[in-house]
Amino acid sequence: MPLGQRVVLIGGGHNALITAFYLAKGGFKPLVLERREMVGGGAITEEFHPGFKASTLAHTLGPLRVEIARAMQIEKFQCEILYPGPRVFAPTPGGNALLFWNDNARTARGIANISAKDSAKYMEFADSLDHLTGVLDQLVSITPPAIDKPTPEDLWNLFKTGRNVRMLRKKGIFDLLRWAPMAVADFVAEFFETELIRAVIAARGIFGTALGPWSAGSTAVLLMRAACDTHPVGTAAFPRGGLGNFTRALAESAKQAGAEIRTDAEVQQIRLKDGAVAGVALTTGEEIAVEAIVSGVDPKRTFFHLLDPSQLDPTFANRIKNFRANGTVAKVNVALGGLPTFTSLDPSEGFLEALSGRIHIGPEIDYLERAFDASKYGEFSEAPYLDVTIPTILDSSLAPEGKHVLSACVQFAPFKLRDGSWDSRRRGLAETVLRTLAAYAPDLPSLVEGIQVITPQDLETSYGFTGGHIFHGELALDQLFTMRPVLDWARYKTPIRGLFLCGSGTHPGNGLTGASGANAAREIIRELR
């Protein structure tokens, strides 16, 4: 295909914007069509109560992969990233707490007050993750190899990965092979004796998934996340103005590179001719002829809503049908009249800084597992695992002066409830979240001025995530790498000629890192040339 040809991208999420940027840099004419009035997908900022704005869905940055940040230069587009000193504050109902700082040695000194053994083990654990960086980073940044007929590039990538694996030496290789299929509860127990430390680190292997800490393969999810950030408890980074400001900067960068972006432009159907893409039809009746289409929406929506499934190979259609994509996360945004007082913090000393990162509510492995158990039987947990931020501590622009926003990702909340509907039980979820938080900050319920509850059902109907899954499909051993989204089609191409995928339903498909979008762009450019 000659350069300069029209490529349409469906959906304006962060991965699609990154793909559009690289396509424009590669000499193509990408047109991004976004259904809503703003780009961003799961990374948006909206006013949810008069004067209060929140990162509506996701509330922390990926982190964005270094090479993407370097190429897109988002800081040139008024996007400042704020990094709190403590990444995670983890209180217990009994009034104890741990702070996990950016500086691992500082964290270890705090842990020493509880357990000298765990203090030393924390540094050992951090070193273990660092040691795996070369292998994990390589796996995340390559295109999964073709199983039957690997290309020369596949072989080269596998050679480089193998070279990195060899550098781990015998013990490192043995550890990696042993750890990946493990339950994350067993993994953290190899290092730590303190329940709170185990729970905070293990949570990284279950966030956004239908896995509990005792689920096999949950360690693989943790290790995949460590590829982008080797810190033991993961990332804590907040764009000033919320995540919507981050995706706005991605869009500006893509436009400057030559991409065109249209909002309020919903694609109704992908048009085919002779087994290849021919164009897209919008809900307005407009039709756009194309040479290629890149779908940034999830695989199920792409193949079963935008295409006629009867035009798909039955084996492929059946595999996509069996791709697990029922979400387990709800989101609760709260407008607060003031800053809540956490009983485990001294209100006179450093409490503001302590609350400036993420707040982890889930003090024990068994607490996390019980929260997961409820979702298996169609219930949301009465004692949920919460990943909480108070973004207004670092960014006062999100609320009126002296007031605050609290943002909580709630697990586990199943897409399909056994009893009642999400509309009838929305209020019950809000009350559960406030009651859970009140065990740690008793004055919090009295500060509430407004509340927004986004259920897994809302994630599907309002935000376009099929099954309400924030990662476009379950993160589990059988849906990662060469099997994401399905076996034989993990290379961003699809059985339809000229149709590609770039969203989180592709490898590595994990949060706001941009890896899926950048990897997809590389393959699309190679294919179209």
Instruction: Copy the structure tokens of residue 289.
Output: 């002829």
Q: How far is CA 357 from the centre of its chain?
A: 17
pLDDT recorded at residue 486: 96
Q: Identify whether residues 118 and 212 lie together within a single domain.
A: yes
Which CATH number goes with the domain that contains 359? Answer: 3.30.519
Give the span between the Cα atoms of 500 and 523, in whole angstroms.
9
Q: What percent of the chain has pLDDT over 70?
A: 96
pLDDT recorded at residue 4: 57
Q: 51 lies in a domain?
A: no
Evaluated on CA atoms 240, 206, 412, 193, the torsion sign reads negative
Judged against a pLDDT cut of 90, whether residue 529 lies above it is answered with no
Q: Identify whether residues 345 and 435 lie together within a single domain.
A: yes
pLDDT recorded at residue 34: 98
User: Any idea which residue has 């387990």 for tokens?
Assistant: 328
Instruction: Copy the structure tokens of residue 124.
Output: 């050992």
Residues 192-238 have pLDDT tens digits of: 999 999 999 999 999 999 999 999 999 999 999 999 999 999 999 99
User: Can you tell me the mean pLDDT for 25-45?
Assistant: 97
Which residues, at least 6 apart from 144, have a Cβ–Cβ distance to it below 8 Å? Answer: 481, 482, 484, 490, 491, 507
Q: Identify whether residues 432 and 509 lie together within a single domain.
A: no
pTM (2 d.p.): 0.96
Among residues 175, 207, 226, the one where a domain terminates is: 226
Which residues, at least 6 apart from 65, have a Cβ–Cβ distance to it below 8 Å? Answer: 141, 228, 513, 514, 515, 518
Measured at the CA of 23, the angle between CA 20 and CA 25, to 5 degrees, comes to: 110
Residues 343-369 have pLDDT tens digits of: 999 877 789 999 999 999 999 999 999
Cβ pair 14, 250 in contact under 8 A: yes
pLDDT-derived band at 1 (thresholds 50, 70, 90) equals: very low
pLDDT recorded at residue 152: 77
Residues 439-490 have pLDDT tens digits of: 999 999 999 999 999 999 999 999 999 999 999 999 999 999 999 999 999 9
Q: Identify whether residues 283 and 391 lie together within a single domain.
A: no
Give the span between the Cα atoms of 479 and 324, in whole angstroms.
8
Q: Identify whether residues 409 and 479 lie together within a single domain.
A: no
Q: 339 lies in a domain?
A: yes
Instruction: Copy the structure tokens of residue 123.
Output: 């540094």
Judged against a pLDDT cut of 60, whether residue 3 lies above it is answered with no
Cβ pair 357, 86 in contact under 8 A: yes
Q: Identify whether residues 197 and 167 lie together within a single domain.
A: yes
- Whole-number Cα distances in Å, 221 to 132, 203, 206, 217, 475: 14, 10, 7, 7, 7
Q: How far is CA 402 from the centre of its chain?
A: 30
Judged against a pLDDT cut of 50, whether residue 2 lies above it is answered with no
pLDDT recorded at residue 153: 77
Q: 152 lies in a domain?
A: yes
Peptide linkage before 391 cis (omega within 30 of 0): no
Residues 139-186 have pLDDT tens digits of: 889 899 887 777 777 677 766 666 666 666 677 677 788 989 999 999
Q: 234 lies in a domain?
A: no
Judged against a pLDDT cut of 60, whether residue 240 lies above it is answered with yes
Counted residue by residue, the chain has a size of 529
Q: 400 lies in a domain?
A: yes
Give the span between the Cα atoms of 428 and 419, in whole angstroms.
13
Q: 72 lies in a domain?
A: no
Q: 511 lies in a domain?
A: yes
Which CATH number goes with the domain that contains 515? Answer: 3.50.50.60
Q: Identify whether residues 305 and 342 lie together within a single domain.
A: no
Q: Identify whether residues 520 and 489 lie together within a single domain.
A: yes
- On average, the pLDDT of the chain sits at 94
Q: Identify whether residues 367 and 311 lie together within a single domain.
A: no
What would you report as the CA-atom Rg of the chain, rounded to the nearest whole angstrom? 22
Instruction: Copy the structure tokens of residue 117.
Output: 């053994």
pLDDT recorded at residue 349: 75
Residue 321 phi/psi, 5-degree rounding, is -60, -35
Q: Identify whether residues 444 and 484 lie together within a single domain.
A: no
Instruction: Copy the structure tokens of residue 426.
Output: 């929305």
pLDDT recorded at residue 168: 66
Among residues 202, 226, 250, the one where a domain terminates is: 226
Evaluated on CA atoms 431, 437, 438, 441, the torsion sign reads negative
Q: Identify whether residues 128 and 207 lie together within a single domain.
A: yes
Q: Identify whether residues 330 and 454 lie together within a single domain.
A: yes
User: Can you tell me the mean pLDDT for 364-391?
Assistant: 97
Residue 30 phi/psi, 5-degree rounding, is -80, 135
Counted domains in the chain: 3
pLDDT-derived band at 433 (thresholds 50, 70, 90) equals: very high
Q: 378 lies in a domain?
A: yes
Residues 96-133 have pLDDT tens digits of: 999 999 999 999 999 999 999 999 999 999 999 998 88
Provide the residue type at 141 as one letter. S
Domain that holds residue 15: 6-35+265-324+469-528
Judged against a pLDDT cut of 80, whether residue 280 lies above it is answered with yes
